Amino acid sequence: MIRLNVFVRVNESNREKAIEAAKALTACSVQEEGCIAYDTFESSTRPDVFMICETWLNEEVLAAHGKTEHFLQNIKVIKELAEIKIEKFDF
């Protein structure tokens, strides 16, 4: 399995729009084949930070996810509004 922790740092003026895109991404992604878990978490101590936490069955389904329309559309919005740092773990 593969776990991605996607840390998102966003200016407060763009926060709501970025979180809306993350929630839309989550709603679609959790329905994909091979998605074990997918959720968005907001920091309780930093209003400029939230995280998308994803778990995928394998590299093939993760690669397919990266080509979906909902991913491409929503990640574009997030990248335009925020800085992203990704941690990847295989287990």
Could you tell me if 87 and 70 are in contact, meaning their C-beta atoms sit under 8 angstroms apart? no
Q: How high does pLDDT run on average in the chain?
A: 97
Question: In this structure, how many other beta carbons lie within 10 angstroms of the beta carbon of residue 7?
Answer: 16
Q: What is the average per-residue pLDDT within 29-53?
A: 97
In this prediction, residue 20 has a pLDDT band, given cuts at 50, 70 and 90, of very high
User: Where do the domains of the chain lie, and which CATH numbers do they carry?
Assistant: 2-90 (3.30.70.100)
Q: pTM for this one?
A: 0.93
End-to-end, the C-alpha distance of the chain in Å comes to 5
Could you tell me if 57 and 1 are in contact, meaning their C-beta atoms sit under 8 angstroms apart? yes
In this prediction, residue 38 has a pLDDT band, given cuts at 50, 70 and 90, of very high
